Structure 1
Amino acid sequence: MAARLLANLIVIGAGVLGRAAVQAYRKALNNANATGVAQEAVQNIRRATKGMTEQEARQILGLPENAKWEEVLERYDTLFQRNAKNGSFYLQSKVHRAKECLEATYRGEESPGTG
């Protein structure tokens, strides 16, 4: 009899906790939608999958908008080598992605290496 009572208590308790968790989740979703957090998170995910913008690439390499392709390569080589020596693979990859992004931009305007 005591085992049956204990089993019923566990089942009822689990049901109550389950319903409370579902209600809390729904409330969190409503709050996120109301404050715009959900939309911001979706935009961040979309932006991350699209890649790097030209402005971000220039900021990473520390270059102005009117920089020549040779300046891009010079800055890339410097930062890439510096991060290779100090062991920051993350920064090294960001520098590489920035160069790739700018390379695509410069290819549209002029061929890289021609100035």
Structure 2
Amino acid sequence: MAARILANLLVAGSMVVGRAVIQAYQKAILNANKTGVAHEALNNIKSVRKAMTEQEARLILGIEEKSTWEEILQRYDALFEKNAKNGSFYLQSKVHRAKECLEAAYQSKGGQPSSQP
């Protein structure tokens, strides 16, 4: 009998707490929309997704603006393999994105990358 009463109290209490959490969350969303915090947060998320610039890509690969596509590929291969061996997936992905950025820039300038890795 006591166990049943305790179980009923726990269920009722958890329902009250659950409703309170949901109401607090809804109130927080309304407040964020009123003050513009939600819009600012979305803008911050979008700014993080910006594409890499050509200058940043050159810095990552450690090449100059006058480098040939073959030099870019050689540098890419060396850095990609070095990071593959040392286990830095983050740096490896940055190197790959840098090569993609420079490849797109090279093609938009009328050039055609001579070989793909």
What is the TM-score of this pair, normalised by structure 1?
0.64
In the comparison of the two structures, how many residue pairs are matched? 108
Report the Cα offset of residue 13 of structure 1.
Answer: 0.5
The 5 A counterparts of 1:34-113 are: 34=35, 35-36=37-38, 38-40=41-43, 42-43=45-46, 47=49, 52-55=51-54, 56-63=56-63, 66-70=65-69, 71-109=71-109, 110-113=111-114
Superposed CA RMSD? 3.1
Partners of 1:7 and 1:83 lie apart in 2 by 56
Say whether the 8 Å CA contact 1:69–1:112 is kept in structure 2: no
Deviation at 1:17, TM superposition (A): 0.6
For residue 28 of structure 1, report the CA deviation from its aligned partner.
3.8
Structure-1 separation of matches of 2:104 and 2:89: 23
TM-score where L is the length of structure 2 = 0.63
Query: Structure 2: which amino acid aligns with 1:112?
Result: P
| Cα distance in 2 between the residues matched to 1:68 and 1:58 | 9
User: Unaligned 5+ residue runs, structure 2?
Assistant: none
Deviation at 1:32, TM superposition (A): 4.7
